[in-house]
C-alpha cells in the first residue's frame, strides 16, 4: 500500500500518477481537497506524450482480455489498457518522479500492480488501501461493488475475496455520457440485497455518488477517491 520513508510535515512535493494522460483533476480532486496547503502537487501520466494510436500500440488491451483497465485521454476519449503493460509504465513514471525529488506518489487507479515500488518516496496504491478500508468498515454487511468493465469482474472477485459476506458485482463506466448505466447497476445491486455500495475505480467521483442519491439510492456509497483522500490527508498533515 505504501513504501519508502515516513511522511510528516516535511513533505514538500507530491505527485499524482494516472494510468492515462495527465492532468486528471477529476481523479485527484478528492485527495487534493484533503491535502495541507503546504504540499505542492504535480501530475504525470503513463500515456503522456502519446497519441491514441501510440497509446494503444504500447499499452492497449485485447478485446475481452483479463487484466483490462480503462482510462481517458486528454481529448476525452477512453482507452482500454493492459494492466501488465500499464504496471511497467507506472514504474517508469515513479522512477522519474523520485529522481525529480518527489516525496509522496499517489497512483490514481484502484487496479492491482504487483511489484510496484518506490525506493525513497512514499508510494500510495489505492488498490490495497481501499480494500483494507472497506473490509474493515463494511465487514458483515452485504455489499455491492461496481467496476467499469465486464472484463474486470473476475479480477474484482479475487481482489475482494477478503470481504465477507462475498460482495455482488455490477458494471458501469464512469466515463459514460450520462449516469443511467451507473444508476441501473446500483439499483440492481440494492434490489439484490446490497446494504452499501463501493464504486471501485478512481474515475468515479463525488458527482457519481450525488447522481445515485438523486436517483433514489439511499444506501451508503463509497467512492475510491474519497477513501484515498480520507487516508492521505491526515498522513501528510
Could you read off the pLDDT of 18-57 as tens digits, one per residue? 999 999 999 999 888 888 888 888 999 999 999 999 999 9
pTM of the model: 0.91
Q: Which residue has the higher pLDDT, 145 or 6?
A: 145
In the predicted structure, residue 3 carries a pLDDT above the cut 60:
no
% of the chain beyond a pLDDT of 70: 95
Residue extents of the structural domains in the chain? 13-126+227-236, 129-223
- Count Cα neighbours of 137 within 13 Å in the Cβ-side half-sphere: 15
CATH domain 13-126+227-236 topology: Rossmann fold (3.40.50)
The secondary structure of 86-123 as a DSSP string is: HHHHHHHHHHHHHHTT-SEEEE---S--TT---SSSEE
The pLDDT, as a whole number, for residue 10 is 55
pLDDT at 38: 80
The domains spanning 13-126+227-236 and 129-223 adopt the same CATH topology = yes
CATH code of the domain made up of 129-223 = 3.40.50.2300
Amino acid at each position: 500500500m505504501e513504501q519508502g520513508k515516513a511522511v510528516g510535515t516535511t513533505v514538500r512535493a507530491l505527485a499524482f500518477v494516472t494510468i492515462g494522460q495527465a492532468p486528471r483533476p477529476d481523479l485527484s480532486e478528492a485527495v487534493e481537497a484533503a491535502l495541507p496547503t503546504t504540499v505542492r502537487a504535480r501530475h504525470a501520466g503513463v500515456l503522456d506524450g502519446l497519441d491514441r494510436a501510440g497509446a494503444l500500440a504500447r499499452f492497449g488491451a485485447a478485446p475481452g482480455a483479463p487484466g483490462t483497465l480503462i482510462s481517458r485521454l486528454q481529448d476525452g476519449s477512453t482507452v482500454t489498457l493492459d494492466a501488465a503493460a500499464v504496471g511497467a509504465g507506472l514504474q517508469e513514471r515513479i522512477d522519474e518522479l523520485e529522481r525529480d525529488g518527489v516525496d509522496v506518489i499517489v497512483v490514481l487507479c484502484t487496479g492491482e500492480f504487483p511489484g510496484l515500488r518506490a525506493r525513497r518516496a512514499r508510494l500510495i496504491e489505492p488498490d490495497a488501501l481501499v480494500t483494507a478500508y472497506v473490509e474493515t468498515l463494511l465487514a458483515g454487511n452485504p455489499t455491492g461493488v461496481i467496476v467499469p468493465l465486464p472484463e474486470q469482474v473476475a479480477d474484482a472477485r479475487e481482489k475482494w475475496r477478503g470481504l465477507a459476506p462475498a460482495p455482488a458485482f455490477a458494471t458501469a463506466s464512469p466515463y459514460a455520457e450520462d449516469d443511467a448505466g451507473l444508476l441501473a447497476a446500483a439499483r440492481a445491486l440494492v434490489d439484490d440485497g446490497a446494504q452499501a455500495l463501493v464504486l471501485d475505480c478512481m474515475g468515479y467521483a463525488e458527482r457519481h455518488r450525488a447522481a445515485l442519491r438523486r436517483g433514489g439510492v439511499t444506501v451508503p456509497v463509497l467512492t475510491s477517491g474519497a477513501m484515498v483522500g480520507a487516508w492521505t490527508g491526515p498522513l501528510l498533515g
